[in-house]
Amino acid sequence: MTAAATTPDAVIVRTPAEIKRSRYLGITYLFLAVVVLWFFARWSVDLGNFTFKLARPTDPSAPDLTLSAGRVTLIVGVILAAMGGVQLARGFGKMNNLVLAIGLFLFIFAFLGWATAQSSIGAFSMVGMMKTTIVRSVPITLGALAGVMSERVAVINIAIEGQLLGGAFVAVVVASPLTGGEDPTLILGSPIGGWIGVGAAVFAGMLLAWVLAVLSIRYVVDQIIVGVVITIFVTGMTSFLALRWLADNPELNKGPIFKSIGIPLLSDIPFLGPVLFDHNIFVFGSFILVAFLTFLLFRTRWGLRARAVGEHPKAADTLGVNVYRTRYLNVIIGGAVAGFGGAFFTLGSVGRFDENMTNGRGFIGLAAMIFGRWHPVGAMAAGLVFGFADAMSQTLGILQTGIPSEFLGMVPFIATILVVAGLVGKARPPAADGQPYIKQ
């Protein structure tokens, strides 16, 4: 390795695992190229053009993107084939993941182009899909952030699903009676009762995180089991209370829905404006939290100490860091983030609670945390990937590709499996992850 590092034109030394992965990637590109050329390009020749709409009627105007389906699929197929060839011949070295991202992007672009051209509509709203991507990514990103906070101090948090569900329930149950049909004081365009509901959801998330912390730190119970049991408990409890309270009292299940806020000037940018800068507080909140937690973990002394606790608690303890207090604090901060994400399901989107409405989003968040390599920014990027998978399956449903909607619904789950199976290479968790610390 040192020889390769010092001599500029030396052949890059690759480990057997890298060579194997490179081979898999190369075969994948060739396979995708065959799919694009054989299925899409062949059929697309007589399909004519497809149109991606970059603005909806109410958005700042932007031109439509109209391309010939035949040409696009042909070009993409050829590029993918070339990428496969290069990958097999010598690999892309450090650019591997970037190239993989480009390859997948091209494939999806060609796929969507083909799907649009073959549908009777012939056009679909790219703005809508991108906006949906962002919105759908929010609970996954927030769940992943909760995981990052807790696992950076070496406490495995599988209770994210339970924290999201608990937050969703508490938010609507607190906010509904407070707003009850009236038009009360507004803060940032939303009723004050809604804000109190969000606060209650955050508190509920913290409470559940505290239970996780006590059981796994003080009582040294297996952390994965604690997490699963908390999720089972919250699922049972919210369903129980939903039947006991909400079924006969619909007024308790009618929360305010937070309105979108357009950021002045920025939301007037064509395409990007509506996609990025015209959302409700949950979306902006997740952007802000990603930035804030990144700063907290990687730019402050406190963050350094927290990470030390996650990597080598004994060393941290020796240097005077209070391991237990750090763990409690981080896990509970994570719970607050997850509780906020839970409120999104009710107050941020539909305004009412349904049994088990998080539908595994917390577990996908867990995968997003691994995909994002235990880093807040990575967590958001991973969240966006899952959000895109969600949004695309929705779009394809509208375009009527003939693919059964159940298969489209599987896309995010299959993507999760591919991600944890190491499609993007192995990531290293914090060294002490999952291990209880017992002070000598």
| Residue 247 C-alpha from the chain's centroid | 32
Q: Which is nearer to other proteins, 98 or 417 (CB)?
A: 417
Which element (helix H / strand E) includes 406?
helix 405-420
Task: State the binding string over 383-412 for other proteins (x if CB under 8 A, else -).
Answer: ---------------------x-xx-xx--
Rounded Cα gap, residues 100 and 102, in angstroms = 5
CB of 65 to other proteins, least distance (A): 32
Binding to other proteins (CB under 8 A) within 151-190 occurs at 156, 158
Of 130, 131, 119, 126, the residue nearest 399 (C-alpha): 119
Q: Does 226 bind other proteins (CB under 8 A)?
A: yes
Query: Which residues, at least 6 apart from 225, have a Cβ–Cβ distance to it below 8 Å?
Result: none
Q: Which is nearer to other proteins, 52 or 371 (CB)?
A: 371
CB of 113 to other proteins, least distance (A): 26
Q: Which is nearer to other proteins, 159 or 337 (CB)?
A: 159
Judged by CB under 8 A, the residue of 122, 351, 360, 397 near other proteins is 360
C-alpha dist (Å) from residue 288 to 74, 261, 284, 293, 379:
41, 15, 6, 8, 13
Rounded Cα gap, residues 436 and 152, in angstroms = 13
Task: State the binding string over 13-32 for other proteins (x if CB under 8 A, else -).
Answer: --------------------
Kindly determine how many residues on this chain lie close enough to bind other proteins according to the rule CB under 8 A.
Answer: 53
Q: What is the DSSP letter of 243?
A: I
Rounded Cα gap, residues 415 and 344, in angstroms = 23
Query: Which residues, at least 6 apart from 275, have a Cβ–Cβ distance to it below 8 Å?
Result: 127, 130, 131, 134
Binding to other proteins (CB under 8 A) within 292-351 occurs at none
Cα-Cα-Cα-Cα dihedral of 365, 361, 334, 226, to 10°?
-100
Q: Does 236 bind other proteins (CB under 8 A)?
A: yes
Judged by CB under 8 A, the residue of 94, 301, 428, 439 near other proteins is 428
Q: Which is nearer to other proteins, 66 or 249 (CB)?
A: 249
Q: Which is nearer to other proteins, 214 or 296 (CB)?
A: 214
| Cβ contact 144:366 at 8 Å | yes
CB of 372 to other proteins, least distance (A): 13
Interface positions with other proteins (CB under 8 A): 156, 158, 215, 219-226, 228-230, 232-233, 235-237, 239-241, 243-245, 249, 359-360, 363-364, 366-367, 370, 404, 406-407, 409-410, 413-414, 416-417, 420-422, 426, 428-429, 431, 433-436
